[in-house]
Every structure is written in structure tokens, then in C-alpha cells.
Structure 1
């Protein structure tokens, strides 16, 4: 299965999902969101698949949202954020948390830059294997926004409160070593395929039902009120998109200046 931007292949019960927009540093356009969502649903229906490898072509895993592409059609922002009920996952959140809906392990292979939406997608995986030269960032705060792709659900499982707060407000890249120390990635390696194969060998030796049961067990034991978090993510992002200070940040960034902020709104 392929739409050129996202490629799905299945070999020996292992699904490989590849981001394939390397000429744009794998930055996410609206079509990629749709394709990732479809791929997750397709994998979910195939009970023969034992594990997923999530990777990217090119030098970078993903540099985040292709803002220029998405903003050419503002209706796409609405489609990314729309949900029927506040606690439901919208399209932007499904491309992160959809991997957690699978009853099989998902292994992200990360090289180069893993920024913004790219990092949030990687956080949806169960294991993250990174090359030593990787950098990681959640960068929405640079534009006066907040993470809105389900990252807050995953960060609550992985990091202490102060570190998650710092990561998202700091909005600057950190190294692979820093990411490892902050529990954002599982392994650092010079051989992504080799380390992945070590994990896969262990997974394939176990009963697929055991793997599924264990994944669901630990999801439950680490679960917070996900519906409330997802509703708050989307509510905050919509409020920020309409916020005067957000507009000032965007304008200042375009001019490479420091914004002069108005008093804080009520939160």
C-alpha cells in the first residue's frame, strides 16, 4: 500500500510504515495525516501482523508540520482539529495515539531531526530507537501554540511533570543523549536495523496474545484521564489560534523580531 507520501509494506508478519517526503524533510502535509490514519486502521484489521516498524526515508525522521502547505487551505486546520465529542481523538491526535490502539508493538526508527509533529508521532510508538546524531523538539510554543497531537497523554506516562513542562515551553532541540536521559527514547544506536531486529526477535518468540495482553495491561496501569486531556489539548489550541498574543508571535517570527505581548488571557 502506498500513496507515495506514506508507504506500507508487510513482510514475515512485520509491517513497515515509511514516511516518504524526504525532499521536504518529511514535514507533514494534510495528505500525510490522512494516509497515516488510514495505514493504522489497515494494520489494526490484520491479525497476522506481529509488530510495526515506523521509519522515514531521507536524512530526517520528520521536521514537523508543513505550515505553509496546510495554511494554503485553512479548512485543513479545521479538519485536523475537528471532533464530534471533546474527549474523542481528532485526526491530528489519531496519527500519534492511533499506534497505541494497536495490540502489537510499534518500534520507531529515528534519524536526524525529529521535531514538532514528527516527535509527537514518534511518541505514539512503544519503543523509540534513535541514532546518536538525532535531535528532538516539541516546537509549537515557538509559534504561540501548544502541542495538540496527543503528546500530552504520552508525555504524562514517560516524564516527570517539570521535565515535560520544560520540554514543551523550551521549544528548542535536545540531543539524543538528552532524550535518552529524559526517557523520551528507548535506545541510542549506530545501527537502527540491528537494534530493531534484536527487539523483533524477542517479540516473535512470544505468543501474540501475550504481547497484546501485556501492552493493554501496562497501558491501563499508566493511564490517566485521556479523554479529558485530549479535550483540553484541542480546546487550548483553538483558543490559542484565536489569541492576540499568538498573532503577535507569528508576526514577530516572520520579521525575526521579539514579540511585545499583551496581558495574559484567563486560563
Structure 2
């Protein structure tokens, strides 16, 4: 499935592969790319067969960030102010990153080459980030007289140390994939991040989709919910799962030492 010649989406064995395909521009973010990302995300909300998502970039890089030429032309004629919430709690650029966190299924980003600015924020929306050790990353916005405003501050909270984020933001210093893991921007470094991400996605897709979705629901509340709210979230999700068809299948498959056959949500 193609979205605006910017995103290719394939679905196989429960794994949706969402790939940025503006390779000639290192998948830089122009208005069509933003629109395509939002459309692909909306499609996945309504796709019950998708159990995990892999987010990657075609060609030499994951995403070089904003296409400043096209975005500059657009911004001069912006009709909707950035302060207007057009997608729930977010504006459209923020939703391009937040949609991956908001999806009810896990998202794994496979990062290689360049991952700058808005590209880094989009990758940060993933639950898990696999990065090439020699990838080049940067919180780039201050270089262009801007600030990170695509949900980065929300998505980095709890992962990236405060003083490290301040330094990288103020200086827009590049850092490697290995440093990204140490800093909290990424989960694992791997020489073949896409292969690692696809293998992990297949593993997740083999688990009970209802249990995985419930775990993501709780995880999304983890950082800013109170203890009481988290305790209730655990109880609420567990109450829904216990005795359900997929939960019974998980137990039987484990006892019978066979592959589980789960139904879609």
C-alpha cells in the first residue's frame, strides 16, 4: 500500500512494515511526507491484522529531518497555527511522531544513516528503537533557529537524561548510534537494524495480541500516571484478559508445547 509516494506499507504475518520512501532526499520531511505518515498511522489504527509495526527509511538514511525548502514555503502561508490542536492533544507535525506512541500495538524503529531533527522525533515515537552503531543522530532544530516541536520533549521524557538532552539541544551536536543507546535515545545498537527490528517484531506478533495491546496501554500511562492510577490500570486490563479466548489459548499452547493460534482483536 502506497501513501502519496512517500510511505510504503506492507503487512505480513502480523507485522506491518512502514517505510519512508523518499530516498533521493534521504526521506526528508516535506508536506506530502507529513500527510503520508498521518494517513499510514490512521490506517493502522483500523487494521486488526497488524500486531506489531516496524518503522524504517529506504535508501541511505532513516530521515534527514525537515525539508527546509518546502517547509519554508509552506510556513509563509500557514493557515492553521501550530498552537491549534488538530489531532487530539497534538498538532499535525506532533502527531507524525505521537501517532506511533498512540497506536495500540508496539512500534519498532530501525534507524540507519542520518536521523536528524524531526526524523529523530518520529523515530522516538516508537516503543523500541534499533540503531546502527555508525548512524548519525542530532537534535538539530537550534541550528536553524528553531526548537524541537514534534513531540520530542514528551517522547524523550523518562528515557534521555535531562542534562544530556539540554546539551544536545543547545549545541545540535551529532552523536552516533552507540552514543544514542547510552544517552537513552535508542534501545539497542545493531549493524543491521532493520533485520533486528523485523525479527523482534515477528516475536512480538507471535504473542497474544490482546495481552500485548493491554501492556502497551499500561506502558503509555507509566510516566505521568499516579500510583493509584497505574494500579487501577493493571487491574482493569487484567480483568479484561483473564479467561478470554486468547488468554486460554496462551495457557494451553504453553502446556502443550505448541505454537499458539491467536485470534485478531
Same fold (TM over 0.5): yes
* Equivalent in the alignment of 1:200: 201
Structure 2: distance between partners of 1:80 and 1:126:
29
Name the SS for the 2:60 alignment partner. coil
* Equivalent in the alignment of 2:97: 96
Structure 2: distance between partners of 1:126 and 1:220:
13
Structure 2: distance between partners of 1:30 and 1:86:
16
* Equivalent in the alignment of 1:141: 142
Give the TM-score of the pair, scaled to structure 1.
Answer: 0.79
Are the structure 2 counterparts of residues 87 and 6 from structure 1 closer, same or farther at C-alpha, using a change threshold of 3 Å?
Answer: closer
Structure 2: distance between partners of 1:100 and 1:160:
20
Are the structure 2 counterparts of residues 112 and 71 from structure 1 closer, same or farther at C-alpha, using a change threshold of 3 Å?
Answer: same
Structure 1: distance between partners of 2:193 and 2:109:
10
Give CA deviations for 1:105-158 in whole Å, capped at 9, x if unaligned.
101111100001100100001111111220111111112211110000011121
Number of aligned residues: 225
Gaps in structure 2 of 5+ consecutive residues: 227-265
Structure 2: distance between partners of 1:85 and 1:114:
26
The more displaced of 84-93 and 98-107 is 84-93
Shift of 1:29: 0.3
Structure 2: distance between partners of 1:216 and 1:202:
19
Provide the aligned C-alpha RMSD in A: 2.1
1:105 has 2:106 as partner: yes
Are the structure 2 counterparts of residues 35 and 215 from structure 1 closer, same or farther at C-alpha, using a change threshold of 3 Å?
Answer: same
Are the structure 2 counterparts of residues 85 and 26 from structure 1 closer, same or farther at C-alpha, using a change threshold of 3 Å?
Answer: closer
* Equivalent in the alignment of 2:239: none
Give CA deviations for 1:226-255 in whole Å, capped at 9, x if unaligned.
xxxxxxxxxxxxxxxxxxxxxxxxxxxxxx
1:43 has 2:53 as partner: no
The equivalences for 1:21-60 within 5 A come to: 21-60=22-61
* Equivalent in the alignment of 2:20: 19
